[in-house]
Amino acid sequence: MGTKGRIISCFIFLVSNFAFAAGDHSVIGGRAAALGTTSVTQSDEWSVFNNQAGLAWCKKFSAGIYFENPYLLKDLSQKALAITLPAGRGAFGVSIRHLGFALYSEMNTSIAYGMRLTKKFSAGVQVEYLRLHVDDGYKDNSVFSCEIGLQFRASEYLWLGLHVANPVPVKLSSLKKERLPTLMRFGLSWRITDGLHSDVEVEKDLIHKPVLKAGIEYRPAKSLIIRMGLLSNPATFTFGFGLEFGNLQFDLASSYHLVLGYSPQASLIYYFGKKIKNEPH
């Protein structure tokens, strides 16, 4: 089967089995990708996509890039750029994301702010502009949407997170049922030891069965982190590692779907000035 045939097959499979929809929320970042796409409790530069409340704990100006190649098909690739700028009791996040190819593509741009409300509690909000392009004479669609998130650091060892994407239904076209999907995620992160922690998360939209996610992260050396995870509906396995070199952080991951195969992901973050840890690993 040629590349075009594989792309068409993947789209048919996604639509028929998982109700793939325009504007679906994507988890961004090599670390989250390796941890079963758990991300709601994390606090890093990718919080601008995953849970804006996590921006509240980001303490340094930084920039990051991300790339994902679903099922090794170039035309389904996803690219993202994020910039984090601390301000006041939190930080601003600016992002841009592109998904797709000439026949179909999505372009998202957003601005977000996460703020510490107390020493243990933070909240965040994002405003997003989404532009959809479909070839063959269809008119491009553009809409605005928003996301909100909360995080609670119950202790040094236990963190909780909640995130809602598109809490207000936004129509994509004149068709009654063509709307951006509302997605809710709740999770917790448990720091088992100084070098070992696990994440558990539940994801639910308004129509489909919940998706259960879990990931575990182990730091065997100062600059090396090993990760693995899994998620249900559909069953997918994830794995990867992270490397830290001074102000540079590199994360490589891949997921494996039993039918569609591998989807590699990679991200790179650079911290300007002296790096300060946003959270323990």
pLDDT tens string, the chain, 281 residues long: the values are 444 444 444 444 443 333 345 546 789 999 999 999 999 999 999 999 999 999 999 999 999 999 999 999 888 899 999 999 999 999 999 999 999 888 888 999 999 999 999 999 999 999 999 998 887 766 778 889 999 999 999 999 999 999 999 998 777 765 556 778 899 999 999 999 989 999 999 999 988 899 999 999 999 999 999 999 999 988 999 999 999 999 999 999 999 998 889 999 999 999 997 655 554 43
Query: Which pLDDT does position 42 carry in this prediction?
Result: 95
What's the number of domains the chain is made of?
1
Query: Which pLDDT does position 175 carry in this prediction?
Result: 54
Structural domain that includes position 64 = 27-271
Query: Which pLDDT does position 107 carry in this prediction?
Result: 93
Task: Tell me, yes or no, whether 100 lies in a domain.
Answer: yes
Query: Which pLDDT does position 133 carry in this prediction?
Result: 84
Task: Tell me, yes or no, whether 10 lies in a domain.
Answer: no
Task: Tell me, yes or no, whether 232 lies in a domain.
Answer: yes
Task: Tell me, yes or no, whether 17 lies in a domain.
Answer: no
Query: Which pLDDT does position 101 carry in this prediction?
Result: 86
Task: Tell me, yes or no, whether 52 lies in a domain.
Answer: yes
Token pair for 97? 């994301």
Query: Which pLDDT does position 92 carry in this prediction?
Result: 98
**CATH number, domain at 222?**
2.40.160.60
